[in-house]
Structure 1
Amino acid sequence: MSRRAVLGGAAAVTGAVAVSAAVAAPASATPGGAAGAAASPVARLLAALPAASGIKKRSRLVDYEVVELAALLRAGKVTATQVVKAYLDRIDRFNGPFETYGDNGLYNAFVRIDRAGALAQAAAADAKFARARHTHEQLPPLLGIPFGIKDSVAVKGFDAKDGSHAFDGNTALRDATVVHRLREAGAVILGHTVCSAFSGSITGTFAGNAWNKAYVPGGSSQGSGVAPVARLAAACIGEETGGSIVMPSAANGASGIKPSLGTSSVAGLMPLSPGYDVLGPIARSVRDASLVLSVILGPDPANDPLTLSAPEPFPAMPLTARKGRRPLAGVTIGIPQTDWMRTGRGVQAGTSPQDTYDTDHLAAFNRLKQQLSSLGATVKEFPGLDVTDPANDPYFSSGDVLATVDGSAVSPSSAVLSPNRYEIRYWDAVKDFAATRPADQAAALLAQYGRRAPGETAASFESATRLGGMIPASVRVEGERRRRQLQANYQAALDKAGVDFMLVFSLGAQIGLRAGGGFPVYRAYYQLPNALAWPMVSFPVGYDSTVGLPIAAQFWGPRFSEPQIVQAAIDYQEHFPQYHNAAPPDPVADAPKVAPRSLRSVEPATPPELSNDPLVAEEALR
């Protein structure tokens, strides 16, 4: 099946393949991985909800976790309308002007909302709850729960702009598959959350950090990282190509899951790099994120054939902590010592990652190791895989040139990603859309997506398409072989050390101000999990001592190990809830620093090493 089907059809630039109304139900299984024949998937999810009588009273309605709200709604303790109005009220007070790709004076987590639609969805949910009290029917697990969706994901009837007014008019004809599945599970879609311009930066400046809006929020899923923590949405959907879920989760102290490639469908996503792009949940707790992933995962063969690579049925995502004082007994967590960090002095190859952390991050890291050990885990340092060694990594950061096509050198990763883009009409779709738009939009799109080949005087969509389409099949096969070799080499490094999964810090020092601060210390190879197609879960483990910004850790494991790494994170948060339950102070409004409708991006030009585009970031590493 052509990778063209990967995009599905939703927004104008993402093709026209329909998301079927009969989207396959998310796979599930009973604990332990065995398929559950007695109970339906919905019943298994509902059985994991806490008893309403045992839920600790929170100071505000918006402070309850998703699983708690789901239980309270079913018990009639609160209505969906009350929940949605509580979140809309906070959006009104603390979000600032919509349709602003820049500093709008407040959080700017949402770039647009569907107020009338959200209230109508809430009223419909309340009617279902009322009816079910008489019929005792089973209701979907997310009924009445408010969500935000990244600006690059199709929501029927609304523009998806991928962080730029250059995509004004890119109206979705239907919901993306993940949005469709959220609706089927009862979710209330509040609107689109802001993302970096063209999903291009892992730092971001359009939104303000949930804990202090003067600081960077992480990118590119900026608003999806801010909104749950700032209590503007109960949970959100983010998208990652190279750091776009993990970095905003870490920067804002959210709990986010970057799934393995193929776990959830990307149909209806405005793509960056097909074969890397994934959609996943960002919430306040890992169990909330796991519930969301349980709903959206599963095969989508008509629209995203990559989902056919996932186990079917997919092992059940955990929703509750394991009992006992040592739930991590028997688990070996490795700390890779060659997972090099980048500082202001460049990539610190040869230096242990921990040696680059600032005082607060090192203290949090050492405390986390002790906490995990107290829960029964074996936590140990091990070499990992040094991807600066060509013998270990023939793909991701290799300096090899596999071919020269149309005057351009083709690296191993380009040999894979450029043909993938060609097959989905990546450049032609933008060209066709640009032809329908005013001159200023068309020029902005050409500047972003066009290519100027050696000897050409101007960039063009045709030049970009030509390069992607001319890469020989033999070169593409070699690139894919090298990618599989990298995956095998990294798995062998874990196996040799007896490691189940890894513990890393994606950020190693206090993040910077939106006015040019960025990330002073971060993982140099933050794109590596996407090259491997492996999952990560990010969760907060502390706060710095000066500004009070979050400190976050990540579990990183082999492909389709989501149940294992998520279970460990849920176990951790059960015993150490003080981090993910903390709430930031409400922001004070400033005057907006940018007009709502501006084609000029107010984000500083993204340095290549901070790009979400694998081909840009990997070239910077080379």
Structure 2
Amino acid sequence: MQPFELSLTEAARAVHTRELSPVELTASVLERIGAVEGRLRAYVTVTADIALAAATRAEREISTHGPRGPLHGIPVGLKDLIDAEGLATTASSEVRAGHVAERDSHVAARLKAAGAVLLGKTHTHEFAYGLTTPQTSNAWEHDRVAGGSSGGSAVAVAAGGATFALGTDTGGSVRVPAALNGVVGLKPTYGLVSRAGVTSLSWSLDHVGPLTRTVRDAALVLSATAGHDRRDPASVSGPPPVDHFGGGGLGGAGDLKGLKVGVPRNHYFDRISPEVEEAVRRAIDRLVELGAELVDVEIPMARYIQAVQWGLMVPEATAYHERSLRDAADLYTPDVRVLLEAGALTSAGDYLRAQRARTMMRDAWARMFDGIDVLAAPSVPMTAAKAGQEAVDWADGTTEAVSDSYVRLSAPANITGFPALTLPVGHDRAGLPIGMQLMARAFGDATVLRVGRAYEESTGEAGRLAPLAA
């Protein structure tokens, strides 16, 4: 096994025991990027010299004082919305040409303090305003979409071009590309990870979260990045208790006795592909084998989810881009410009009604979780669409835009702010990955991580890289 194939947990253990040096690991990942980047285009920029210098510094520090923690000397990719001092933050847009970050974002500073090695900046759908990341190819099939908006981060992790990565999630932008590329993606509880220094799409919906090979990896990254930051007005204290290499707050692997898993009667299994439904229901059955109890639940206010998501996101995005849209509208890609212009047509009354509906939905979901510990459901209704495909026809005779289909199942966790985890649970007949989503009440991040870890350890297939063609 080559170093680039190691999960974060495996790499951290090897570095901790001095079986692998950060320089060897970083050089292997950079070599992998060089081998696959021409086909995948996961990165906006690769900072190889900076990465090797940081790896050399980490190796020296570890030799002298031992590792600071599990991220010390581990290569990471940052979505190109996240500021890193001295590097461009382009948001994959010509609007940001020439922009260079003057200081680290809070999460970049936390990763630097943990000793992580920055590889470069990964592609996003322009300004995170889309669910496909069209410039990046899916890691499993190059003619399929990567998912978005954190498509570059997901593809880099799936292909071995980053040991882990960070993305942002406003309506599924961590979980959708994670599911479509067969990796783990976590959207933490709203406010648990600071967004200071991160380009915004929608202030009240944005989250920062990890993309990793395994659930345990995601827990390690969350532990390093979560915590209060006065620069983010929504920031709150308290990462879940997770130790470096043991169970910590995740509990014993494989034991879910007494855990109540909600299975939706509506919304989540409506208009999904039969292969996705089969794989997710099979994964839910595995949770029962591990000791969990299933509870049928009704998803509250399901008919309003799309309207609330768009009613919040569209006007907030337009407000953020108001000046640059006025001064440089022609520099935006057409799909993003249309959405930004549409936001100017949203009335204050519509926005306030969406906020009121969000409060009602959050309260209703909290009551639903009074009877369950986690909700288990599909992450996305279908696997990766063909590049350029605009719509999907469902068996009930309806037609839906590809982006709308991908956001439909992930939006509730953004509206409510509740934690949501996606992890791989199978493949369709074409070999494309399928993801299952686990959700819990606010600050139940440790619970979804515990359940996800129990599932993946029961299968013995965690951390699989995409089988890239020669």
TM-score (norm 1): 0.68
Structure 1 residue 490 corresponds to structure 2 residue 423: no
d(CA) in 1 for partners of 2:310 and 2:3? 51
How far did 1:217 drift?
Answer: 1.1
- For residue 109 of structure 1, the aligned residue among 42, 46, 62 is 42
Is the 2:8–2:74 contact (alpha carbons within 8 Å) kept by the matching residues of 1? Answer: yes
Structure 1 equivalent of residue 64 of structure 2: 131
Structure 1 residue 534 corresponds to structure 2 residue 442: no
Structure 1 residue 397 corresponds to structure 2 residue 307: yes
Equivalent position amino acid for 1:380 in 2: V
CA RMSD between the two structures: 3.0
d(CA) in 2 for partners of 1:570 and 1:419? 35
d(CA) in 2 for partners of 1:219 and 1:571? 27
Equivalent position amino acid for 2:238 in 1: P
How far did 1:253 drift?
Answer: 0.7
d(CA) in 2 for partners of 1:556 and 1:146? 28
Equivalent position amino acid for 2:382 in 1: A
Which structure shows the higher helix fraction?
2
How far did 1:384 drift?
Answer: 2.1
Using a 3 Å threshold, how does the CA distance of structure 1 residues 417 and 447 change in structure 2: closer, same or farther? closer
Structure 2 equivalent of residue 119 of structure 1: 52
Residue by residue, what CA displacement relative to the aligned partner does 1:516-537 show, whole Å, maximum 9, x if unpaired?
2676674635322111111110
Is the 1:511–1:518 contact (alpha carbons within 8 Å) kept by the matching residues of 2? Answer: no
d(CA) in 2 for partners of 1:520 and 1:537? 27
d(CA) in 2 for partners of 1:528 and 1:323? 27
Structure 1 equivalent of residue 283 of structure 2: 368
d(CA) in 1 for partners of 2:6 and 2:374? 30
Q: Which runs of 5+ in 2 are unaligned?
A: 395-404
Residue by residue, what CA displacement relative to the aligned partner does 1:62-83 show, whole Å, maximum 9, x if unpaired?
1211122112112111111110
d(CA) in 1 for partners of 2:20 and 2:138? 30
d(CA) in 1 for partners of 2:87 and 2:364? 44
Using a 3 Å threshold, how does the CA distance of structure 1 residues 513 and 318 change in structure 2: closer, same or farther? farther
How far did 1:139 drift?
Answer: 2.0
Structure 1 residue 157 corresponds to structure 2 residue 30: no
The equivalences for 1:254-293 within 5 A come to 254-293=183-222
Structure 2 equivalent of residue 348 of structure 1: none
Structure 2 equivalent of residue 349 of structure 1: none
Structure 1 equivalent of residue 133 of structure 2: 204
Structure 1 equivalent of residue 398 of structure 2: none
Structure 2 equivalent of residue 190 of structure 1: 119
Q: Which runs of 5+ in 1 are unaligned?
A: 1-58, 97-105, 341-351, 399-410, 436-440, 454-458, 589-622
- For residue 568 of structure 1, the aligned residue among 448, 451, 454 is 451
Using a 3 Å threshold, how does the CA distance of structure 1 residues 586 and 295 change in structure 2: closer, same or farther? same
Structure 2 equivalent of residue 66 of structure 1: 8
Is the 1:396–1:483 contact (alpha carbons within 8 Å) kept by the matching residues of 2? Answer: no
Residue by residue, what CA displacement relative to the aligned partner does 1:83-135 show, whole Å, maximum 9, x if unpaired?
01101101111101xxxxxxxxx011112111110010011011112212xxx
Is the 2:262–2:294 contact (alpha carbons within 8 Å) kept by the matching residues of 1? Answer: yes
How far did 1:179 drift?
Answer: 0.7
Equivalent position amino acid for 1:285 in 2: T
Is the 1:334–1:502 contact (alpha carbons within 8 Å) kept by the matching residues of 2? Answer: yes
Residue by residue, what CA displacement relative to the aligned partner does 1:248-275 show, whole Å, maximum 9, x if unpaired?
0100011110112101011111111101
Is the 1:507–1:519 contact (alpha carbons within 8 Å) kept by the matching residues of 2? Answer: no
TM-score (norm 2): 0.88
Structure 2 equivalent of residue 601 of structure 1: none
How far did 1:317 drift?
Answer: 3.9
Is the 1:510–1:520 contact (alpha carbons within 8 Å) kept by the matching residues of 2? Answer: no
The equivalences for 1:576-591 within 5 A come to 576-578=459-461, 580-588=462-470
How far did 1:565 drift?
Answer: 0.7
Residue by residue, what CA displacement relative to the aligned partner does 1:343-385 show, whole Å, maximum 9, x if unpaired?
xxxxxxxxx53x7432x32332232122111110112332222
Residue by residue, what CA displacement relative to the aligned partner does 1:412-455 show, whole Å, maximum 9, x if unpaired?
945x9747975xx6423x36xx86xxxxx6632497887999xx
How far did 1:329 drift?
Answer: 0.7
Number of paired residues? Answer: 456
d(CA) in 2 for partners of 1:239 and 1:171? 19
d(CA) in 1 for partners of 2:392 and 2:310? 28
Using a 3 Å threshold, how does the CA distance of structure 1 residues 451 and 332 change in structure 2: closer, same or farther? closer
Residue by residue, what CA displacement relative to the aligned partner does 1:306-352 show, whole Å, maximum 9, x if unpaired?
00xx3x33431476456768511111111112225xxxxxxxxxxx5
Equivalent position amino acid for 2:387 in 1: R
Structure number with greater Rg is 1
How far did 1:170 drift?
Answer: 1.6
Is the 2:123–2:133 contact (alpha carbons within 8 Å) kept by the matching residues of 1? Answer: no
Using a 3 Å threshold, how does the CA distance of structure 1 residues 518 and 68 change in structure 2: closer, same or farther? farther
Structure 1 equivalent of residue 241 of structure 2: 316
Is the 1:339–1:385 contact (alpha carbons within 8 Å) kept by the matching residues of 2? Answer: no
